[in-house]
Amino acid sequence: MTLTLDKLRALKRQAGATDTPASPASSVPSSLREPLPATATAPVAPWDAVLHQDATSRIAANDPAPHAAPSLEVDNAPRLSPKAAEVDALRRLLGLRERAPLLRPRARNVDRTLPGIEIDAGLWLIESQVTHAKPEAPLPLAFARRDGHVDADHLLFFDTETTGLAGGTGTRAFMIGAADWFDGALRVRQLLIANMAAEAAMLRTFASWLTPTTVLASYNGRSYDAPLLRTRYRLARQKDPLHGLDHLDLLHPSRRRWRGRWENCRLATIEREALRILREDDLPGSQAPAAWLTYLRGGASSNLRRVAEHNRQDVATLAQLLLRLCDDTTEFDTPS
């Protein structure tokens, strides 16, 4: 627009006009003005004056500083779309500002050490001993309403820590504890997986502890632990080593012996009331799933170590409970 006005002004000067009003275009350097054609000598027509006045008024209306030199810089600022411009104007009206990115807290040193030794990728073995002499004579099975006896060398007490109590294919055991008499003491071995992929190795290792003469002993294991492990063996496409093994479930004899005497027949209650065993800093079994999942998500292993101690005490208690039931000669005919 400025160059067009300059041409109009030059034409008027050639036509002899001397009363041209000052305008912002007069400040444009002559070197930037386009040369006029040699044939442009005709006087300015009346419509040229009207065009000149109209252009001058439009420039005055749009330019807040009419006497400033026009800027020759190129505006490289990004252009907002009409909708984005409306949103930006609304944000300025409301006094909103863009939220600064939240700074992540500085990483803390988290204790993720696990007890025992890693015997396979993600599989940990925890071994300990409990001072508990092996019975010399075979143990009678009258407490389980069965004839015959069982040799202590064939007994394997076991318990699992799982991701829940619902059962089914979505529940898995992340720890298996087992106890047997070995070298004059009660040996406790525990398998703990530190990731999902280590489950198959844990199942293979536990299967290697079983023989055709093994007699399993548990507390509600016939209804929960054993079926759960069988499901995991099937899903892992491994042979079920529990099939065909004898199984002593101590829950039902304990109910016949102490039902109605205490508030319930949970193992912790039987342990405290009948065996006089008091645990210190024991983590309830209901918190075991959360402890393992916290570790999988990168959390500390402190509660997971407490789960391992809880499991170790459970399998050690099963051995003492079996001996207590064998020593009790009283018969109870109450159905379980």
SS3 125: strand
Which neighbouring-strand residues pair with 161?
175
* Res 17 pLDDT > 70: no
Parts of the chain belonging to CATH 3.30.420.10: 117-327
pLDDT in tens, 47-67: 455 445 555 555 555 555 444
Q: Which residues of 265-296 are buried (b: 16+ CB within 10 A; e: fewer)?
A: bebbebbeebeeeeeeeebebeebbebbeebe
The 8-class DSSP code of residue 232 comes to: H
Between the ranges 87-91, 167-171, 265-269, 327-331, where is the mean pLDDT highest? 265-269
Residue range 115-135, pLDDT digits in tens: 999 999 999 999 999 988 889
* Identity at 206, one-letter amino acid code: F
Task: Please report the pLDDT score of residue 335 as a whole number.
Answer: 45
Burial call 203-223: b when 16+ CB within 10 Å, e when fewer: bbbbeeeeeeebbbbbbbbbe
Compute CA 229 distance to the chain's CA centroid, rounded to the nearest angstrom. Answer: 25
Instruction: For residue range 137-163, list pLDDT tens digits in order.
Output: 999 999 999 999 999 999 999 999 999
User: Is residue 313 exposed (0-12), middle (13-18) or buried (19+ Cβ within 10 Å)?
Assistant: buried
Tokens (6 digits) for 70:
């026009």
CATH match of 117-327 with 3.30.420.10 = yes
pLDDT tens-digit series, residues 264-309: 999 989 999 999 988 887 888 889 999 999 999 999 999 999 999 9
Stated pTM of the model: 0.67
